[in-house]
Amino acid sequence: MFTIISISILVVMIIALIRAILGPTLYDRILAVNVVGTKTVLLLSVLSVTAGRGDMVDIALVYALINFISVIAVLRFFEYNKEQQADVEQQ
């Protein structure tokens, strides 16, 4: 039964990865990567419950935080990049 859930999470990750490769705009790609990150957290939780070990949930916890920070950091990077480009164009 845990196998079915794991497979369905993996299917979602594959679909999101295809969206990340096809994605017409940059933001579609970041959104797809964010979905993959959330699903990774869930997959890690499912694995740790299957193994019956509480200490594996810590990895999922840390991954959730890393996923959040990385999405915000990438967005900040592109936002400032855009502003700098606009400044250069104005000059």
Partner 1 sequence: MDIFLNVLSWICLLAGGFLGITGAVGLFRFPDFFTRLHAASVTDTLSTFLIIIGLMLQANSLMMIIKLLLVLLIIAYTSPTSAHSLAKSALHSGLKPFLKDKENQNS
Partner 2 sequence: MKQLLSLTVILAVFWLVNSGHYTPLLLGLGAISIGLILYLSRRMEHVDGEVEPSIVMSIHLPFYLFWLLVEIIKSNLDVVTRVWKGEAAISPTVFKVKASQKSDVCRVLYANSITMTPGTITLDIDGDTFEVHALSEEGKEGVLTGEMDKRVSKLER
Q: By CB under 8 A, name the binding residues for partner 2.
A: 54, 58, 61
> For 18, left (φ over 0), alpha (ψ -120 to 50), or beta?
alpha
Residue 26 near residue 78, CB atoms below 8 Å: yes
51 binds partner 1 (CB under 8 A): no
What is the rounded CA–CA span in Å between residue 4 and residue 42? 13
Question: Looking at 1-91, which runs of residues are DSSP E strands?
Answer: none
Q: Site residues for partner 1, window 4-43 (CB under 8 A)?
A: 4-5, 8-9, 11-12, 15-16, 19, 25, 27-28, 30-32, 34-35, 38-39, 41-42
66 binds partner 1 (CB under 8 A): no
What is the rounded CA–CA span in Å between residue 90 and residue 22? 33
Closest approach of partner 1 to the CB of residue 91, in Å = 20
Q: Which residue has the tokens 């999470």?
A: 9
Site residues, partner 1 (CB under 8 A): 1, 4-5, 8-9, 11-12, 15-16, 19, 25, 27-28, 30-32, 34-35, 38-39, 41-42, 45-46, 48-49, 52, 54, 57-58, 60-61, 64-65, 67-68, 71-72, 75, 78-79, 82
